[in-house]
Amino acid sequence: MAKVKEYGNAELEEKLRDTSYYTDDSNPQFLEDVKKISRTAANMCFQCGTCTGSCPSAPRSSYRIRLFMRKGVLGLEKEALNDPDLWLCTTCYSCTDRCPRDLAPTDVIMAMRNLAFKFDIVPRNFLKTVQLIYNSGHGVPNNDVNRAARVKLGLPADPPTTHSYPEFIPGIQKIMDFYKMKENADRILSEGEH
Amino acid sequence: MVETKNEPRIGVFLCHCGTNIAGSINIEEVKNYAKTLDGVVIADEYQYMCSTPGQSKIIDAINENNLNGVVVAACSPRLHEPTFRMATQEGGLNQFRFEMANIRDQNSWVHMHDLEGATEKAKDQVLIAVAKARMLEDLQPKSVPVEHAALVLGAGVGGMQAALDLANAGIKTYLVEKLPTIGGRMSQLDKTFPTLDCSQCILTPKMVDVGRHPLIELRTYTEVEKVEGYIGNFTITLRHKARGVLDPDQAAARAAATGILGTGCNGCGDCDAVCPVIKPNPFEMGMAPRKAIYIYHAQVMPLQYTIDFDACVKCGLCVDACGSEKNAIDLEAVDTFEEIKVGTCILAIGFDLIPIEEKREWGYKQYDNVITGLEFERLICASGPTVGHLIRPSDGKTPMKIGFVLCAGSRDNTGGVNKAYCSRFCCMYSLKHAHQIMEKIPGAVPYLFYMDIRSFGKMYEEFYYRIQNEGAKFIRGRVANILEDPITKNLIVNTEDTLLGRPVAMEMDMVVLAAAVQPKPEAEHIRQMFGVSKSQDGWLLEAHPKLNPCGTTTAGIYLAGVCQGPKDIPDTVAQAEGAASAASIPIHMGEVQLEPYFAMCMEDLCAGCGMCLNQCPYGALDLIEKNGRTVMEVTEAKCKGCGTCGGFCPGGAIKMQHFTSPQICAQIDAFLLKGGVN
Ligand SMILES: Cc1cc2nc3c(=O)[nH]c(=O)nc-3n(C[C@H](O)[C@H](O)[C@H](O)COP(=O)(O)OP(=O)(O)OC[C@H]3O[C@@H](n4cnc5c(N)ncnc54)[C@H](O)[C@@H]3O)c2cc1C
Ligand code: SF4
Ligand code: SF4
């Protein structure tokens, strides 16, 4: 546990905060959960960096897939799940293609997102995507600019998806209701508004 | 010898093997069970049965209880059967009145978390062993004389060292090399870490020693065709590939046999000058040409040309150039065969690089300026294709920023061409390469992309320090991919600097891949001919990783160098000297003992039908006339005790000693019917 010293000054206390890693910062169950959900031997990461080196997000952000692997190994649950970078993976699977330990870092990220959702830790844009899918069947629904572009290319204005066949939207909603996705998204979004 | 009466009197001894066995088997329970078995007069246990006090228990028990059979339940017979046989013998019994139950490798190690189940299984194992022990017989090992000669296969630095040691110990040694010259990989290297001595300068004197040693029979451009026999008496058929060029000895032999005169090849190279066929030279990794009649390089041993008959157009120009005085060339040459007899063999067939082009993300064979470590060695070597000027294959310019990709295909569990193991010398040779470019090209900077720098040998860590101090840059990250700038042909190396926690994209003039190593493709065939196993990773398997690293599970066959697993030159030479020493022991002893597990003909049952003769894979059986009857006879030295004939004989006339039908039936009965349980 981090050692706390009373300086009687909040700013100073934050500045001189003990940032050492203590063994009781670790939740070993976190690694087990990640392994179970991701179905990859996340404990076998040897921190070579191939994943971050392959990651198209990394050069443009502070997202480091290798660090998430590390936090998984060490059981640093809170740090991993509260890190907004968790949501910057594009799921391109480049890291999974190249990992020399034959791991699936992408699936580790997905597992951590799953676990974060249980703590209601989800960025607003993801929740809004949930609402959009619920209402239209699309994460990114068609819009006028796209429609015009499609027509110019000789395509129908709407693609042959729920946009053309709205009768399938209730089916999608049924699946999402089963997992309480919309319900939870609505709830978290509204709580955030207080 | 203790009088062995017919009544079985068996002693059972259980080993704890520290906690290896006792940790998952209830020894006390098994011991008490053993005491209840038919014929068992004493059951005892000890922490380490193989130790002196453990063995003393066996010896004392034999004498005190007048035992005629000993059962030890412990580790594998491969490890300690000889130990316990000696103890049995010291107690005054015939050494074959011993039976072992493997309750460790086959029980406690596999059922580590099932105490009850493992204990029950151990009881069964003891029951079965006791069933056999009740029926053991005295057997006498057979001594056979050992041929005073050895074979060393492969003439890299490992094979050469082994051959020199054997020959210096007074043993005639056949050194067989499939290429036209000896020297192996080491002759392709420029300098050697960590001392940086010139590879050729330390290797060529050895090559010359090999060439002129009176006890070394050098056979280059030769492969093994067939292996027969067993320790002490191997008969090996060699195939001398058609070389098309006679050395002085062969020319003299030809003159004697046919009257055709000529002094043979003196290495002048007149033929080379006129040959019109040009091929890539594999010694230079294909970066320089050779002719259809060629030598690999100027320091070859023997200095004798070779014709590549796959490329030769038989124009005859070389024959004219060679001239009637030397008359060394024979365009009609064919393969010839030779049979040699040796007592022991050492395999030293070396290694290859993996086909690193199959790692598409690193661009080898797609991008001109991505090369392998071996190509680097030839490019930086003063006697190489560029006389030691490192140049970019794309434009011949001198590279100033050179990336080294370590663990290229090593330490990679993804299968395919990748290898899970560490190739062990690439860290060190990449450091050496870094030094070489800083030494030769003023201002050039090496960048080493690494996961760990493994500089474990004597003076190796110091070498790492030195190269860092000279200015080499180290980036801790495994290379994710390499891209080529199509115009400049420069290379962009992508990875993460894991210490900085930032992605890096570095532009390099050239990239050298420290490609993983793998066994030679023909190693599989060679090992099957010599009866050697391979380990999970594909390299030839030693008899014991710690206690017998040069031997194999086939008596009389030894291993040296990288063919047993990646190792650098110091380790290769050390293992070669170990293998030579081990291979010389049976030869100096003059005879070896064979285990008496031979088939035996029970002549009164044998009908002389001869049907077993064709069954024997070793040709050990014959029909003979004896007392007016035709019966089968076993040549014990040829019999390997495989049991094929014993199982086959329709009259049940063949007895497999130490594995007799009654013994095996008793074991099966004991297990299935609990025979022998009181
Ligand atoms: C790029 C590179 C740089 C290196 N630099 C260094 C260094 O600086 N220092 C160092 O200590 N080590 C270095 N090494 C390692 C060194 O090359 C090996 O340790 C050494 O060559 C092993 O010798 P060997 O005799 O076991 O095998 P090899 O050198 O491979 O010799 C095996 C021989 O057996 C022959 N052969 C193969 N199959 C058959 C067959 N079926 N029948 C007959 N003959 C056969 C081969 O033709 C060859 O001549 C380097 C390796 C590489 C790849
Ligand atoms: S590529 Fe694989 S082993 Fe390497 S750091 Fe990433 S997850 Fe770990
Ligand atoms: S020696 Fe070094 S570069 Fe080669 S595989 Fe081992 S760790 Fe990797």
CA of B154 to the centre of ligand 1 (A): 9
DSSP A3-18: -----S-HHHHHHT--
Name the token pair of B35.
Answer: 């005491």
DSSP B220-256: -SEEEEEEEEETTEEEEEEEE---SB--HHHHHHHHH
C-alpha B425: how far from its chain's center?
19
Contact A48 B478 (CB under 8 A): yes
Average pLDDT of chain B is 96
What is the spatial distance between Cα B416 and Cα B522, in angstroms, rounded to a whole number? 19
Provide the domain limits for residue A178.
124-192
> CB-CB: which of A53, A67, A102 is closest to B480?
A53
Sign of CA dihedral B377, B381, B384, B387: positive
A56 contacts A123 by C-beta, under 8 angstroms: no
Our count of domains for chain A comes to 2
Domain ranges within chain B, ordered by starting residue: 10-139, 248-334, 352-518, 599-657
Q: Which residues of A touch B411 (CB under 8 A)?
A: 100
Q: Which residues of A touch B494 (CB under 8 A)?
A: 53-54
Task: Tell me if chain A has a CB within 8 Å of the CB of B478.
Answer: yes
| Nearest residue (CA) to ligand 3, atom 6 | B422
CATH node for B10-139: 3.40.50
Helix axes B115-133, B661-673, angle to 10 degrees: 150
Sign of CA dihedral A54, A59, A63, A66: positive
- How would you write the pLDDT of chain A (194 residues) with one tens digit per residue? 777 778 888 898 888 888 888 888 899 999 999 999 999 999 999 999 999 999 999 999 999 999 999 999 999 999 999 999 999 999 999 999 999 999 999 999 999 999 999 999 999 999 999 999 999 999 999 999 999 999 999 999 999 999 999 999 999 999 999 999 999 999 999 987 65
Q: Looking at residue B208, what DSSP letter applies?
A: H
Name the token pair of A167.
Answer: 């009768």
List the end-to-end C-alpha distance of chain A, in Å, as a whole number: 33
Q: What is the pLDDT of residues B77-123, one digit of tens each?
A: 988 999 999 999 999 999 999 999 999 999 999 999 999 999 999 99
Tell me, what's the pLDDT at B6? 73
Does A13 map to a domain? no
Indicate yes or no: pTM above 0.90.
no
For residue B127, pLDDT over 70 is answered with yes
CA nearest B294: which of B282, B284, B283, B307?
B307
Q: Looking at residue A182, what DSSP letter applies?
A: H
Residues A107 and A169 in one domain: no
Residues A114 and A46 in one domain: yes
CA nearest A91: which of A111, A118, A116, A62?
A111
**Cα dihedral angle (B214, B262, B319, B294), rounded to 10 degrees?**
10
* Number of the ligand closest to the Cα of B464: 3
CATH topology of domain B352-518: FAD/NAD(P)-binding domain (3.50.50)
What is the spatial distance between Cα B664 and Cα B435, in angstroms, rounded to a whole number? 65
| Nearest residue (CA) to ligand 1, atom 8 | B192
Q: Domain B599-657 belongs to what architecture?
A: 2-Layer Sandwich (3.30)
| Residue B197 beta carbon below 6 angstroms from any ligand 1 atom | no
Q: What Rg value do the Cα atoms of chain A yield, rounded? A: 21
Interface test with B, best of A40, A47, A48 (most B CBs within 10 A): A48
Tell me, what's the pLDDT at B678? 65
**To test ligand 1's pocket by mutation, which of B568, B573, B575, B577 has the most ligand atoms within 8 angstroms of CB?**
B568
For tokens 């490992």, what's the residue? B158
Name the token pair of B339.
Answer: 């049979």
Does A136 map to a domain? yes
Contact A66 B412 (CB under 8 A): no
Residues A152 and A109 in one domain: no
DSSP B455-500: --STTHHHHHHHHHHHT-EEEES---EEEE-TTT--EEEEEEETTT
CA nearest B128: which of B195, B237, B37?
B37
* Interface size, chain A vs chain B, as Cβ–Cβ contacts under 8 Å: 66
| Residue B350 beta carbon below 6 angstroms from any ligand 1 atom | yes
For tokens 């007592």, what's the residue? B343
Backbone angles phi, psi at B45, to 5 degrees: -145, 160
For residue B677, pLDDT over 90 is answered with no
pLDDT band, residue B640 (cuts 50/70/90): confident
Q: Which helix (H) or strand (E) holds B561?
A: none
What is the spatial distance between Cα B636 and Cα B139, in angstroms, rounded to a whole number? 13
Tell me, what's the pLDDT at B5? 54
Return the exposure string of B431-448: e unless at least 16 CB atoms fall within 10 Å of the residue's CB, then b. Answer: bbbbbbbbeebeebbbbb
**In Å, how far are A2, A27, A67, A118 from A30, measured between CA atoms?**
20, 6, 15, 13
Any bridge partners for residue B347, and if so which? B153, B559
- The amino acid sitting at B598 is F
What is the spatial distance between Cα B559 and Cα B531, in angstroms, rounded to a whole number? 12
What is the spatial distance between Cα B55 and Cα B80, in angstroms, rounded to a whole number? 11
Q: Which helix (H) or strand (E) holds B404?
A: strand B401-408
Residues A111 and A43 in one domain: yes
What is the spatial distance between Cα B264 and Cα B280, in angstroms, rounded to a whole number? 26
For residue B2, pLDDT over 50 is answered with no
B73 contacts B103 by C-beta, under 8 angstroms: yes
What is the spatial distance between Cα B123 and Cα B330, in angstroms, rounded to a whole number? 71
DSSP B106-140: IIITTSTT-HHHHHHHHHHHHHHHHHHHTT-----
B601 contacts B632 by C-beta, under 8 angstroms: yes
Task: Tell me if chain A has a CB within 8 Å of the CB of B412.
Answer: yes
Backbone angles phi, psi at B623, to 5 degrees: -100, 135
B249 contacts B264 by C-beta, under 8 angstroms: yes
Strands B142-145 and B591-594: antiparallel
Residues A46 and A101 in one domain: yes
For residue B4, pLDDT over 70 is answered with no
Does A108 map to a domain? yes
Residues A85 and A105 in one domain: yes
Any bridge partners for residue B11, and if so which? B42, B70
Residues A106 and A131 in one domain: no
Residues A143 and A107 in one domain: no
Any bridge partners for residue B478, and if so which? none
Sign of CA dihedral B664, B666, B667, B672: positive
Residues 186-205 of B with CB under 8 A from A: none
**Higher-confidence position of B554 and B272:** B272
Model ipTM over 0.90: no
Name the token pair of A74.
Answer: 């060490």
Q: Which residues of B touch A67 (CB under 8 A)?
A: 501
* Number of the ligand closest to the Cα of B517: 1
Q: Where are the alpha helices (DSSP H) in B513-640?
A: 523-530, 569-589
Task: Tell me if chain B has a CB within 8 Å of the CB of A71.
Answer: no
Q: Which residues of B touch A51 (CB under 8 A)?
A: 480, 496
Does A39 map to a domain? yes
Q: What is the pLDDT of residues B149-178, one digit of tens each?
A: 999 999 999 999 999 999 999 999 999 999
Name the token pair of B407.
Answer: 């663990």
Task: Tell me if chain B has a CB within 8 Å of the CB of A101.
Answer: yes
| Residue B364 beta carbon below 6 angstroms from any ligand 1 atom | no
Contact B480 A64 (CB under 8 A): no
A88 contacts A61 by C-beta, under 8 angstroms: yes
Tell me, what's the pLDDT at B617? 86
Tell me, what's the pLDDT at B210? 98
Residues A132 and A165 in one domain: yes
Contact A102 B415 (CB under 8 A): yes
DSSP B258-278: H--------S--HHHHH---E
Q: Give the Cβ contact number of residue B521 at 10 Å.
A: 8
**Strands of chain A, DSSP E:** none
Which three-class secondary structure state does DSSP give residue B279?
Answer: strand
Distance in Å, alpha carbon of A69 to nearest chain B alpha carbon:
13
Contact B505 A59 (CB under 8 A): yes
| Pocket lining for ligand 2, CB < 6 angstroms | A 45-51, 66, 69, 95, 99, 101, 103, 105
Residue in B closest to A62 by C-alpha = B502
Backbone angles phi, psi at B32, to 5 degrees: -65, -35
Residues A92 and A171 in one domain: no
> CB-CB: which of A46, A53, A99 is closest to B495?
A53
Does A175 map to a domain? yes
B423 contacts B475 by C-beta, under 8 angstroms: no
Does A1 map to a domain? no
Task: Tell me if chain A has a CB within 8 Å of the CB of B678.
Answer: no
Which three-class secondary structure state does DSSP give residue B84?
Answer: helix
What is the spatial distance between Cα B516 and Cα B493, in angstroms, rounded to a whole number? 19
For residue B1, pLDDT over 50 is answered with no
B42 contacts B11 by C-beta, under 8 angstroms: yes
> CB-CB: which of A47, A53, A98 is closest to B503?
A53
CA nearest B225: which of B330, B340, B309, B146?
B340
For residue A104, what are the contacts with CB-CB under 8 A and spacing of at least 6? Answer: A38, A39, A40, A93, A96
For residue B70, pLDDT over 90 is answered with yes
